[in-house]
Structure 1
Amino acid sequence: MSAFPNTSTVQTQSVPTWRQKDAKPFVQIEQITKQFGQFTAVNSVSLDIYRNELFCLLGGSGSGKSTLLRMLAGFEEPTSGRILIDGVDMTGIPPWERPVNMMFQSYALFPHLSVEANVAFGLKREGLKSAEVNKRVAEILGMVQLGHLAKRKPHMLSGGQRQRVALARSLVKRPKLLLLDEPLGALDKKLREETQFELMRLQDELGITFIVVTHDQEEAMTLATRIGVMNNGDIVQTAEPHEVYEYPQNRFVAEFIGNVNLFDGTVIDDERDTTSMRSADIDGLLQVDHGISCAPNQDVSVAIRPEKIRISREPIDLEVNATTGVISDVAYMGSQSIFKVRLNSGKEIRITQPNVSREMGNRLTWEDRVFLSWDADSCVVLVA
């Protein structure tokens, strides 16, 4: 039987913790600001993270995500604000006294120690008896499927195996909170994808709250129960992955997460159930299936994901959400094809289609005149 408490409930609850009205946050970040001289790296961020979440902080270089993680670990002191973990204020508490462990991108394994000695190092420093150390090390190496490599040195392991040793070393001390800074960045694409699912399995089995920092949108979408998107020191949206992708709250999130087409338009009719906009980009009307509560004649952007757009050589008899153009570029990606289409207005947009047939046949190609359309519920209006 595992010595780790199997308290994970995120995947089994009918209602996730963060949606429960009376749920108590496990990590509370309250108005945290971090300044380095005149530069503000983190700007008055407030965030609640719940027990057993696998939460991702997602952002580009300089967005503030790693600085926020280091403040959680105690490696940086906030300029203002406070952090609570499991109800305890962490102000003034040094890293080694926090119920937190951190896994770095570099792994930082001791090259002269075996796998099991690397994993056992922290436990021995705490003065645990040999029997307890051996028990915990064997258990965690079994969980990360490295028990058969316990006697090897790090240089004898693959990159993915070294990553799992570092993860085992971080978990063996049973922290309440595990912080992971770009944990999969050193792995190749295929191994990174495999390891993402391994990380999710371990987090679910152990019931430990994970906070992962990454710049990789696909990684965050795969791993996270929720994502906090950061930009210039601010968290600009916090939501579940599908919500961040399908309902971005602003133009930055829409463009940062995946691929998106943005059409500029001017509102001409804003009703409770529909909003209509005239757009020079498509030389016609855009329509969404919801109102947006905006001023008359307000300029907005309409976001449409590439996979939501239908493409055909046949003309389309639609008065809204339709346009035409010429294919300017094609990329065959195996499971899907990507088309770039130059509209009559000169704007170039991106469309993706699944390759459901093995035959090339009469597929669309360069310089084809095509007709495009999409549904009103595929659009999101962005006013910021």
Structure 2
Amino acid sequence: MSAFSLSAQASSQAKPIWRQADAEPFVQIEQINKQFGDFTAVNNVSLDIYKNELFCLLGGSGSGKSTLLRMLAGFEAPTSGRILIDGVDMSNTPPWERPVNMMFQSYALFPHLSVEANVAFGLKREGLPSGEVAKRVADILDMVQLGHLARRKPHMLSGGQRQRVALARSLVKQPKLLLLDEPLGALDKKLREETQFELMRLQDELGITFVVVTHDQEEAMTLATRIGVMNNGVIVQTAEPHEVYEYPNNRFVAEFIGNVNLFDGTVVADERDSASIHCPDTEGLVYLDHGISCAPNQNVSVAIRPEKIRISRDAFDAPHNVASGIITEVAYMGSQSIYKVRLPSGKEIRITQPNVQRDTGDRLTWDDQVHLAWDPDSSVVLTS
């Protein structure tokens, strides 16, 4: 697993809880459907989420992720199916009686109240003693590093600080489950990256189960113990971040998560420890060092991530997994360079290379004739 995606649960056990056969799910979503008239927003979704997970629902607009989150919160009622939290069926439980809190993308802070008053609002509504309210508010503001700003009003804060106030207000009631709907969407790139690590730290310290909805693939890869990728109301893959990236189970996931090169081809051979695929866009066969359980002559797609392709002006001495073409675009990104190469078939593919050495003045550039190669374990075969 990437260092960026480790959580308290994933890092504290040799085997993560979701890989343990006897583990009891904390959240159980069972065959949930949600229809708005003739439109099906969530289609027969079943999902288990475990205690102390930081689980991300990832998908594009209209994929059903926010609708599913709202059903967890109790703001929407399922058309059919049920949701259990900590073993209790929530079907007839209103939002205010669920052991859940939700942080909205807009933050929804009260502009006329100070930071500490915003955070204390829910506790006061519950009638907690003033001493306990003050202590819990002070503790959570210190945890989100806003204790020194307790007296300020929201308009006096930066976007990142307002985000942390909203997070503190959601956490101070000590929910069993915290739902976050696009929590970092309003932040700029640098602040968003910093806040991702802040969220992970807080989740680790508090041990609360987080469910985060996001459309941002990098955000999900950074935050999550596991990711549920949604498309057209269905969860199409649930796995740890590195599995979703390295082993997508269909073409949609491969294209949605990061960048990928896809070659259409036909299975030529499929043995127990190897497979060969004829792809018209490459030179020779695409060879894999494992079997793929496909029928002879079956049409498939071969997915290769851009960073797994080597690029050189010199030809590679290899009988398979090679191609050649002309560089059509170059982007220097500091830590890496991105090349787009047009193959003789007209197909354009993407290659990324780390800039591990200083520029020597002999960089690959536009219109260079180049050769490409990749290893037998770098390809993933997709049948759907």
What's the TM-score bracket when you normalise by the shorter of the two chains? over 0.9
Q: Quote the sequence identity (%).
A: 82
Q: Secondary structure at the match of 1:352?
A: strand
The residue aligned with 1:202 is 202
CA spacing shift, 1:9–1:251, aligned 2, 3 Å: closer
| Contact 1:8-1:206 within 8 A present in 2 as well | no
Q: Which amino acid letter does the alignment assign opposite residue 39 of structure 2?
A: F
What is the alpha-carbon distance in structure 1 between the residues aligned to residue 377 and residue 32 of structure 2? Answer: 37
Q: Secondary structure at the match of 1:11?
A: helix
The residue aligned with 2:100 is 100
The alpha-carbon deviation at position 360 of structure 1 amounts to 4.3
Q: What aligned pairs does 1:146-161 form with structure 2 within 5 A after superposition? A: 146-161=146-161
| Contact 2:57-2:65 within 8 A present in 1 as well | yes
The alpha-carbon deviation at position 10 of structure 1 amounts to 3.5
What is the alpha-carbon distance in structure 2 between the residues aligned to residue 357 and residue 50 of structure 1? Answer: 44
Q: What aligned pairs does 1:50-129 form with structure 2 within 5 A after superposition? A: 50-129=50-129
The alpha-carbon deviation at position 102 of structure 1 amounts to 0.1
The residue aligned with 2:41 is 41
Q: Which amino acid letter does the alignment assign opposite residue 160 of structure 1?
A: G
What is the alpha-carbon distance in structure 2 between the residues aligned to residue 366 and residue 284 of structure 1? Answer: 26
Q: Which amino acid letter does the alignment assign opposite residue 81 of structure 2?
A: G
The residue aligned with 1:11 is 11
Q: Secondary structure at the match of 2:11?
A: coil
The alpha-carbon deviation at position 319 of structure 1 amounts to 1.3
Q: Which amino acid letter does the alignment assign opposite residue 233 of structure 2?
A: G
Residue by residue, what CA displacement relative to the aligned partner does 1:174-220 show, whole Å, maximum 9, x if unpaired? 00000000000000000000000000000000000000000000000
The alpha-carbon deviation at position 9 of structure 1 amounts to 3.8
| 2:124 is aligned with 1:135 | no
| Contact 2:283-2:321 within 8 A present in 1 as well | no
What is the alpha-carbon distance in structure 1 between the residues aligned to residue 102 and residue 310 of structure 2? Answer: 46
The alpha-carbon deviation at position 284 of structure 1 amounts to 2.1
The alpha-carbon deviation at position 299 of structure 1 amounts to 0.6
Comparing 207-216 with 284-293, greater Cα deviation is found at 284-293
Comparing 163-172 with 277-286, greater Cα deviation is found at 277-286
The residue aligned with 2:4 is none
| Contact 1:272-1:291 within 8 A present in 2 as well | yes
The residue aligned with 2:259 is 259
| Contact 1:287-1:320 within 8 A present in 2 as well | yes
| 2:259 is aligned with 1:221 | no
What is the alpha-carbon distance in structure 1 between the residues aligned to residue 64 and residue 345 of structure 2? Answer: 38
| 2:193 is aligned with 1:212 | no
Residue by residue, what CA displacement relative to the aligned partner does 1:26-49 show, whole Å, maximum 9, x if unpaired? 000000000000100000000000
Give the structure-1-normalised TM-score: 0.97
The alpha-carbon deviation at position 170 of structure 1 amounts to 0.1
| Contact 1:182-1:213 within 8 A present in 2 as well | yes
The alpha-carbon deviation at position 291 of structure 1 amounts to 1.1
What is the alpha-carbon distance in structure 2 between the residues aligned to residue 125 and residue 179 of structure 1? Answer: 20
The residue aligned with 1:4 is none
The alpha-carbon deviation at position 356 of structure 1 amounts to 1.1
Residue by residue, what CA displacement relative to the aligned partner does 1:325-345 show, whole Å, maximum 9, x if unpaired? 010100011110000000111
The alpha-carbon deviation at position 289 of structure 1 amounts to 1.5
The alpha-carbon deviation at position 8 of structure 1 amounts to 5.1
The alpha-carbon deviation at position 77 of structure 1 amounts to 0.2
What is the alpha-carbon distance in structure 1 between the residues aligned to residue 80 and residue 372 of structure 2? Answer: 51
What is the alpha-carbon distance in structure 1 between the residues aligned to residue 380 and residue 8 of structure 2? Answer: 34
The alpha-carbon deviation at position 294 of structure 1 amounts to 1.2
| 2:382 is aligned with 1:382 | yes
| Contact 2:180-2:210 within 8 A present in 1 as well | yes
What is the alpha-carbon distance in structure 2 between the residues aligned to residue 287 and residue 105 of structure 1? Answer: 46
Residue by residue, what CA displacement relative to the aligned partner does 1:215-272 show, whole Å, maximum 9, x if unpaired? 0000000000000000000000000000000000000000000000001110110101
How big is the alpha-carbon RMSD for the aligned residues of Structure 1 and Structure 2?
Answer: 0.9
Q: Which amino acid letter does the alignment assign opposite residue 24 of structure 1?
A: E
What is the alpha-carbon distance in structure 2 between the residues aligned to residue 10 and residue 177 of structure 1? Answer: 18
| Contact 1:311-1:372 within 8 A present in 2 as well | yes
The residue aligned with 1:334 is 334
Q: Secondary structure at the match of 2:22?
A: coil
What is the alpha-carbon distance in structure 2 between the residues aligned to residue 360 and residue 110 of structure 1? Answer: 56
Q: Which amino acid letter does the alignment assign opposite residue 32 of structure 1?
A: I
Q: Which amino acid letter does the alignment assign opposite residue 58 of structure 2?
A: L
Q: Which amino acid letter does the alignment assign opposite residue 90 of structure 1?
A: M
The residue aligned with 2:268 is 268
Q: Secondary structure at the match of 1:66?
A: helix
| Contact 1:8-1:208 within 8 A present in 2 as well | no
Runs of 4+ in structure 1 off by over 3 angstroms are 7-10
Q: Which amino acid letter does the alignment assign opposite residue 216 of structure 1?
A: D
| 2:158 is aligned with 1:163 | no
The residue aligned with 1:3 is none
The residue aligned with 2:314 is 314
The residue aligned with 1:173 is 173
Q: Which amino acid letter does the alignment assign opposite residue 308 of structure 2?
A: K
| 2:317 is aligned with 1:347 | no
Q: Secondary structure at the match of 1:10?
A: helix
What is the alpha-carbon distance in structure 2 between the residues aligned to residue 132 and residue 120 of structure 1? Answer: 10
Comparing 318-327 with 147-156, greater Cα deviation is found at 318-327
| 2:290 is aligned with 1:299 | no
| Contact 1:33-1:80 within 8 A present in 2 as well | yes
What is the alpha-carbon distance in structure 2 between the residues aligned to residue 179 and residue 98 of structure 1? Answer: 12
Q: Which amino acid letter does the alignment assign opposite residue 198 of structure 1?
A: E
The alpha-carbon deviation at position 316 of structure 1 amounts to 1.4
What is the alpha-carbon distance in structure 2 between the residues aligned to residue 362 and residue 273 of structure 1? Answer: 40
What is the alpha-carbon distance in structure 2 between the residues aligned to residue 10 and residue 297 of structure 1? Answer: 41
What is the alpha-carbon distance in structure 2 between the residues aligned to residue 374 and residue 363 of structure 1? Answer: 20
Q: Secondary structure at the match of 1:40?
A: strand
Consecutive unaligned residues in structure 2, runs of 5 or more: 1-6
Q: Which amino acid letter does the alignment assign opposite residue 209 of structure 1?
A: T
| Contact 1:58-1:230 within 8 A present in 2 as well | yes
What is the alpha-carbon distance in structure 2 between the residues aligned to residue 52 and residue 317 of structure 1? Answer: 50
| Contact 1:55-1:227 within 8 A present in 2 as well | yes
| Contact 2:331-2:337 within 8 A present in 1 as well | yes
What is the alpha-carbon distance in structure 1 between the residues aligned to residue 363 and residue 259 of structure 2? Answer: 23
What is the alpha-carbon distance in structure 2 between the residues aligned to residue 357 and residue 291 of structure 1? Answer: 37
